Structure 1
Amino acid sequence: MSATSAIARAGFFAAVVVLAAVVGTAAIGGGSHTAPEVSQLNAASFNSDEAVATPPEESGELSMSADASGKVVVIDVAHAGSIDREALTPLVSTLTENGATVRYHVGERQNGRPLNASLRSADAFVVLGAEQRYTESELNGLTAFTDAGGRVLLLNEPAQASAVGVGLLSPTTSESVTKPMAPLLSQYGLSYGNGYLYNMHEYDTNYRSVYATPTGDSALTDGVDRTVFYAAIPVQGGDTAVSATERTTLSQTRRQGTYGIVTRSGNVVAVGDTNVLTQEFLYRADNEQLVGNLLDFLVTGEKSPAGAPQPAESGASGPSGALPGTGGGGSVPPAAPEPTPEPESPPTPKPNGTATPTPTPGE
C-alpha cells in the first residue's frame, strides 16, 4: 500500500468520526441545553391542594325514628346471587333492635316456602339485585302486596361493579344484573339505566364514588345534606328523592347530567346502589341518615288485608298470588316430609278366581 493511499484512508475515517459526533450531539439536543429541573414542571396533579377528591367525614350512627315493633321484614336471597349477609349486619341489627323481625327468603330450592306465602306474613320486602327472574305469579303477588300497603325496597348495582366483587353481591357473569329486575320495576313505572355513574370533577377518593344530594324535602331525605354512592346506576321514573351532583357522567352514553339514584313510586323505593348499606360506605357523608330513613319507610306501612297476597283458588292464578307450590320461597323450617303411603292390601279374589287390585292412597 502506498503512503498516499494510507493517508487518504486515515483522512476518510477521521471525517466519519467527526460526522458521527456532530450528528450525535444534534440528536441529543446539543450541549448548550440542560434537562429541566423538577421545580420547573407545571404538574398540578402532583399537588395535593389541586386534587379533586374530597373525602367526606365518616361519622354518625345508624338509627331509626320509627317504632318497628311487630313488623316483619323479608330479605330476598332466592333471586339474587350470593349475598354477603355479614355486610347486612348494621341493617339487620338496627331493625331488630327497634322491634322488627327480619327473615331471609331462601326459595323452594332450599326447602323454603313460595314467595307469595312468605309475603303474606310480611310487612316489608327487600330485594338486593336479582339474577333470577320473578315468575308471573310472583309479580302478581308483589303487586297485591304493595296494593295492600306492603313496602318494597329495591337496590341494584351495575354488572361492572359486581364483576370486581364490590358491594353486597358476589361477582356475576351475567351481561347485566338489571334485566331480571326490569319486569318488577316496570309494574311501578320504574326502571334502572345501563352502565354506571362517575364524576371526574368532584368525587370521594375515586371517580366512581359520586356525590348525590336531595331534590327536595321528603321523609326519605330528612336530615340528609349529601350522600356518596359507588358505581351507582341511574333510576328513572317515580318521584326522585336523591340525584347525583352536576357533571356526573353515565358510562353508557358519556353524557353528563344530574341522574336520579333514589326514587319512590307509592309503596316502592328503588336505589341504584347496594354499597350504601355496607360498612365501607354506610358512614360516609349522610349515608347513615339516608339508610335510617329507608328503614323507617319499610316499617311505617299499614298493610290491609294483613294476609295479602291471598292464595289463588285451586286451578287458577290471578293478581291475588301464585298457584300453590309456585314462586319463590321463605326462610322457614324445611317442609314436612310427605306422608309414607300405607302398604297395599293383598288383592281381593273375584268370584271367578281373578284378583282385583286395591287402589293405593292418593290415586
Structure 2
Amino acid sequence: MALTGTVARVGFFAAVVVVAAAVGTALVGSAGQSAPAVSEVDAKSFNSDGAVADVPAENGTLSMSADADGKVVVIDTAHSASIDREELSPLVSTLTENGATVRYHVGERQGGRPLNASLRSADALVVVGAQRHYTESQLDGLSAFTDAGGRVLLLNEPSQATSAGLGIVISLGSEGVTSPMAPIASQYGLAYENGYLYNMHQYDTNYRSVYATPAGDSALTEGVDRAVFHAAIPVSGGEQAVTATERTTLSQTRRQDTYGVVARSGPVVAVGDTNVISQEYLYRADNEELVGNVLDFLVSGQKSPANAPQPAGPSQSGPGATVPGSGGTTIGGGGGAPAPQPTPESPATPESTATPEATATPDE
C-alpha cells in the first residue's frame, strides 16, 4: 500500500511538471508579447518625471549680518538634558565668530546657577525641546527678561518623535506637544499644536520632511525661498513667518492646510522643529539663510535694565516687603531703604579663534 501510494504521487507530480512546461512554451511562443515599457506603467515609483521626492541642493554657508559683539546667548540644557551639543556646533561657531559669548545653562542639579541668575547676564535665551517643567518663578523671570528687551528662541518637536533633532529622544506614547514648552509659548500668545506634519505629494526624500515658504516679507525670511522641516509641528499665534506648502497634512486631524512652522511674537520666535538647526538639515534648501536670520534676531535686542530679571524682593509677609508695581515702595519695617542689588556679571570676552566647545561654557 505504501509503495502504491508513492508511485501514484510520483506520477501526479510528473504530470504537473509536463503541464507547466507546456503552458510555459505556449506563453513564450505566443504573438511575441513582452512586459510593458517602464514609461507605460502608471506608477510614480517607475516614472521619474512624476516622483514626489524632490531632493533640494545642500550648499551654502551659515552666516550672520548683525553685529553680535558683547552679546551673551544662553542655551538651556537644564530642561533639555538629552541635547547633543555637537549638533549645536554650527550655531555656536557662527555666534562666537561674530563676537557673541555662548553659555550652556546646566541648572542647579548639575552645580550651576538658577535660570533667573543665568538670564541676568544674558541677552538671549535658546530653548530646545524642553522636557522638564519650568517653575512659576522661572516663568516670571523669563517674562521680566523679555520685558527688558531680552530675546528668546523656542524650538520644539512632536512628543512621539523617537529620534528628534539634536539627539533629543522623546517618547510619551501620544502625539501631544511636549508640555513643558506650552506655558512658555502661551505667555507670548503662541502655541504648539498636537501631531506632526507630513506631505504625500511633495517632500524632501521623506514624506515627513515637508517644504515651507515665507508667509510674507520679514527680517526672518530675507533670502529664503524654500526651507525644509522634518518631523515638524504647527505653530499658531503671533505673526506667521514661514508656512508649510499646500497639501501638507497634520497627523492628528488628517486635515490639509498651509500650517505655520515659524512664528514671531514680539521678542520671541517659535519654531516647530529642532532638526532645522541640526547639521543634517541645516544646509537643505535655504535653511541656512533662515537660521542665520534667526541668529540675527537673537542678538538684535537692547536689554534695559541689563541685569533683568532682578532678584526677587523680600517676602511680602515680613517687615519691609515690597509692594508689586510700587516702584520699590515698602510697607512696614519703618520704610527702610531697599536692599542693594548685586552687580551684574561681566560677559566673558569672546575668543574668535576658540573652538565652540571652549567658548560655549557651562553657566556656573
Residue 160 of structure 1 pairs with residue 160 of structure 2: yes
Q: CA deviation at 1:117?
A: 0.5
Q: In structure 2, how many angstroms separate the alpha carbons of the residues matched to 1:318 and 1:145? A: 20
* Matched-pair contact (CA < 8 Å) for 1:312–1:318: no
SS of equivalent residue, structure 1 residue 210: strand
- TM-score computed with the length of structure 2 as normaliser: 0.77
Deviations 1:64-110 (A, max 9, x none): 00000000000000111410100000000000000000000001000
Q: Which runs of 5+ in 2 are unaligned?
A: 1-7, 317-321, 326-360
Match of 1:101 in 2: 101
Q: Percent identity?
A: 70
Match of 1:173 in 2: 171
* Matched-pair contact (CA < 8 Å) for 2:106–2:112: yes
SS of equivalent residue, structure 2 residue 262: strand
Report the CA distance shift for 1:178/1:318 in structure 2 as closer, same or farther (over 3 A): farther
Deviations 1:148-172 (A, max 9, x none): 00000000111233x1x23114322
Match of 1:360 in 2: none
Q: In structure 2, how many angstroms separate the alpha carbons of the residues matched to 1:319 and 1:214? A: 42
Q: In structure 2, how many angstroms separate the alpha carbons of the residues matched to 1:318 and 1:231? A: 47
Q: In structure 2, how many angstroms separate the alpha carbons of the residues matched to 1:102 and 1:290? A: 20
Q: CA deviation at 1:280?
A: 1.1
- TM-score computed with the length of structure 1 as normaliser: 0.77
Match of 1:45 in 2: 45
**1:115-264 correspondence to structure 2 within 5 Å:** 115-161=115-161, 163=162, 165-175=163-173, 176-264=176-264
- Please identify the structure whose Cα radius of gyration is greater: 1
Letter matched to residue 166 of structure 2:
L
Runs of 4+ in 1 over 6 A off after TM superposition: 31-36, 317-320
Letter matched to residue 146 of structure 1:
T
**1:1-12 correspondence to structure 2 within 5 Å:** none
Q: State the superposition RMSD in angstroms.
A: 2.6
Equivalences, count: 302
Report the CA distance shift for 1:258/1:90 in structure 2 as closer, same or farther (over 3 A): same
Q: In structure 1, how many angstroms separate the alpha carbons of the residues matched to 2:324 and 2:303? A: 16
Match of 1:294 in 2: 294
Report the CA distance shift for 1:99/1:44 in structure 2 as closer, same or farther (over 3 A): closer
Q: In structure 1, how many angstroms separate the alpha carbons of the residues matched to 2:257 and 2:324? A: 38
* Matched-pair contact (CA < 8 Å) for 2:227–2:285: yes
Q: In structure 1, how many angstroms separate the alpha carbons of the residues matched to 2:127 and 2:309? A: 18
Q: Which runs of 5+ in 1 are unaligned?
A: 1-12, 321-329, 334-363
Q: CA deviation at 1:58?
A: 1.2
SS of equivalent residue, structure 2 residue 281: helix
Deviations 1:247-275 (A, max 9, x none): 11001100000000000000000000011
Q: CA deviation at 1:56?
A: 1.1
Q: In structure 1, how many angstroms separate the alpha carbons of the residues matched to 2:100 and 2:44? A: 52
